[in-house]
Amino acid sequence: MTTARQPRPVVLLRPVPGTSPIHELWAGTKLVVVLGFSALLAFYPDWVPIALVAILIGTAIRMARIPRGVLPSVPKWLWLLLLLGAVTAALGGGAPVLHLASHAFELGGLLKFVRITVVAIVLLALGMMVSWTTNVADIAPAVARLGRPLKFFRIPVDDWAVALALSLRAFPMLLDEFRLLYAARRLRPRPVLTSRRARRRRWAIEMVDLMSAGVTVALRRADEMGDAITARGGTGTISAAPSGPKRADWVVLAICGLVCVVSVGLQMTVLAGI
């Protein structure tokens, strides 16, 4: 007798065990690359920039030796939403037009939907790759280092970096706690309710219970994290850790900058009239 295959959950903000050239890069370099590629695909969401960025991300994932087991399972409802979106976009029509016998099919809307979907997948893969190869403790010093010029305008960069680091550290723990609460709710025996009003009332009571339990768990985790940070020297040590780019980081930044320049150059010259 075979058991149903369990869906793989989303694992974020937890680096994959092991080491690689991508793991050893400075966290600030990865943040700059994410910002640069996001801006590139936001202003030039065409196939050439998408292909170049996708090739670079695929190479980085291969170098990071990220196993397939960390990829989350895609729920069926998401595939249905994508199919519904594709059908709806195809109804918009537009160039190019595909001629089959005596019929003409306008594929402009469908191609635009596919392009936007691919952009979202590429950016999602970039973010997940950074999440799987970066230690959360390295983000705060990197943000403080990158935002150092903003201190001239009296912007509390260090405080922002500490708040970001604490949020990123708390997110995986709270996610696990909410999964545990949801599993406990599913194991709770359900009473037999005959009226619609009773079912609505029961649903409201369960939602209040989940929200109350979630707030309690968040406060307890915050108290434990505060005690741990105080024992290690306070929040000042979070953003004060020494960090900075190395030779490999400059090489990566140069390659990513070259990809951005080539993409923009091709879009503004060779592919401008296409």
DSSP per residue over 184-198, as a string?
HHHHSPPP---SHHH
Tokens of 95: 């160039």
User: For the segment 193-242, what is each residue's pLDDT rounded down to a tens digit?
Assistant: 677 787 778 778 778 877 887 788 778 877 877 787 777 776 666 666 66
Q: Answer yes or no: are the C-beta atoms of 144 and 157 closer than 8 Å.
A: yes
The verdict on pTM exceeding 0.95 is no
User: For the segment 170-189, what is each residue's pLDDT rounded down to a tens digit?
Assistant: 777 777 777 787 777 777 77
Please state, in angstroms and rounded to a whole number, the distance separating the CA atoms of residues 210 and 185.
Answer: 8
Count Cβ atoms below 10 Å from residue 40 Cβ, excluding itself: 21
User: For the segment 111-161, what is each residue's pLDDT rounded down to a tens digit?
Assistant: 888 999 999 999 999 999 998 898 888 888 888 888 888 888 888 888 888
User: For the segment 102-114, what is each residue's pLDDT rounded down to a tens digit?
Assistant: 777 677 788 888 9
Q: Answer yes or no: are the C-beta atoms of 139 and 27 closer than 8 Å.
A: yes
Please state, in angstroms and rounded to a whole number, the distance separating the CA atoms of residues 202 and 190.
Answer: 10
The one-letter amino acid at 136: V
Q: Which pLDDT belongs to residue 238?
A: 65
Q: Which pLDDT belongs to residue 3?
A: 55
Q: Cβ contacts of residue 240 below 8 Å, gap of 6+?
A: 141, 144
Tokens of 74: 């895609």
Please indicate whether residue 233 or residue 267 has the higher confidence score (pLDDT).
267
Q: Answer yes or no: are the C-beta atoms of 37 and 123 closer than 8 Å.
A: yes
Q: Answer yes or no: are the C-beta atoms of 177 and 185 closer than 8 Å.
A: no
Please state, in angstroms and rounded to a whole number, the distance separating the CA atoms of residues 274 and 272.
Answer: 6
Q: Cβ contacts of residue 67 below 8 Å, gap of 6+?
A: 16
